């Protein structure tokens, strides 16, 4: 965790960016919408926790048969997600919560999903450990994440830019999230590269 990271800072950054978030992301969203849809086809039903719901871009992919609880640390992002949910008539339960300290009992969920979230969580391994705890044994973790490239030059550039992106938009671009998922005690089932080796889909199981 860098000196710039604390829950308060992350929350403030996302509260500040909330009114422009969808516009800022609109170019990337042209590709991301398909990645989101594909990821959510893996979820059929059961109790699902969506972490870092943001403005609610995944709401339209929530399966009708699943009971989805969606959390975020930033109230202004949640307000936007709530507006989307109201417009869509979505039954999602939206709650303000920190993935690093969840109030849910052990084994509460069948699936946990997060898209582009662990780049901004101050201590990703702690957050992922919490997800492992609240998932039932055998429960699934599905992530879309941008991570540090293995390519020598891109790696250098990403490491150099990381403090700037973290300060400006709260996103670390040099995280090694596949390793964090493993360090948190999950078993990795599948990792797929979606854009270069930077955007990945990670599929893991809680022991």
Ligand X SMILES: C[S@@+](CC[C@H](N)C(=O)[O-])C[C@H]1O[C@@H](n2cnc3c(N)ncnc32)[C@H](O)[C@@H]1O
Q: Which is nearer to ligand X, 137 or 168 (CB)?
A: 168
Which residues pair with residue 68 across a beta bridge?
Answer: 48
Helix (H, G, I), strand (E, B) or coil at 198: coil
Contacts (CB under 6 A) with ligand X, residues 132-161: none
Q: Which is nearer to ligand X, 42 or 137 (CB)?
A: 42
Out of 111, 117, 128, 184, the only residue in the binding site for ligand X (CB under 6 A) is 117
Q: Contact at 8 Å (CB) between 167 and 4?
A: yes
- Structure tokens of 184? 């948190």
Q: Which is nearer to ligand X, 119 or 204 (CB)?
A: 119
Q: Which is nearer to ligand X, 110 or 145 (CB)?
A: 145
Q: How far apart are CA 41 and CA 28, in angstroms?
A: 20
- Structure tokens of 25? 């992301």
Contacts (CB under 6 A) with ligand X, residues 173-192: none
Q: Which is nearer to ligand X, 98 or 110 (CB)?
A: 98
Helix (H, G, I), strand (E, B) or coil at 200: strand
Contacts (CB under 6 A) with ligand X, residues 62-91: 71-74, 77
Out of 116, 131, 175, 177, the only residue in the binding site for ligand X (CB under 6 A) is 116
Stretch of 53-61, 152-160, 175-183, 195-203 contacting ligand X, by CB under 6 A: 53-61
Stretch of 46-54, 151-159, 180-188, 195-203 contacting ligand X, by CB under 6 A: 46-54
Q: Which is nearer to ligand X, 138 or 183 (CB)?
A: 183
Q: In whole angstroms, how close is the CB of 179 to ligand X at the nearest point?
A: 19
Q: Contact at 8 Å (CB) between 110 and 135?
A: yes
User: What are the Cα distances from residue 184, in Å, to 86, 112, 141?
Assistant: 35, 14, 12
Which position has the token pair 């509260």?
15
Alpha helices in the chain, H assignment, sequence order: 7-17, 21-24, 26-40, 75-88, 124-134, 152-169, 177-183
Q: Using N-to-C axis directions, what is the helix angle for 7-17 and 75-88, rounded to 10°?
A: 50
Q: In whole angstroms, how close is the CB of 116 to ligand X at the nearest point?
A: 4
Q: What residue ranges bind ligand X (CB under 6 A)?
A: 7, 10, 14, 51-54, 57, 71-74, 77, 98-100, 115-117, 120-121, 127, 171
């Amino acid at each position: 965790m860098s000196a710039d990271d604390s829950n308060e800072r992350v929350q403030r950054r996302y509260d500040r960016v909330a009114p422009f978030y969808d516009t800022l992301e609109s170019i990337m969203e042209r590709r991301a919408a398909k990645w989101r849809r594909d990821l959510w086809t893996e979820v059929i039903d059961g109790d699902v926790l969506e972490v870092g719901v943001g403005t609610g871009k995944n709401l339209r992919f929530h399966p009708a048969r699943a009971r989805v609880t969606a959390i975020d640390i930033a109230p202004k992002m949640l307000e936007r997600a709530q507006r989307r949910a109201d417009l869509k008539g979505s039954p999602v339960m939206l709650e303000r919560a920190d993935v690093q300290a969840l109030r849910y009992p052990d084994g509460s969920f069948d699936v946990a999903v997060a898209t582009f979230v662990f780049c901004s969580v101050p201590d990703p391994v702690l957050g992922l450990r919490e997800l492992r705890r609240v998932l039932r044994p055998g429960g699934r973790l599905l992530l879309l994440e941008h991570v540090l490239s293995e390519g020598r030059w891109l790696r250098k550039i990403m490491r150099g830019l990381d403090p700037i992106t973290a300060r400006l938009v709260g996103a670390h671009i040099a995280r090694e999230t596949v390793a964090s998922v493993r360090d948190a005690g999950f078993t990795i089932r599948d990792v797929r590269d979606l854009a270069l080796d930077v955007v990945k889909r990670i599929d893991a199981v809680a022991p």
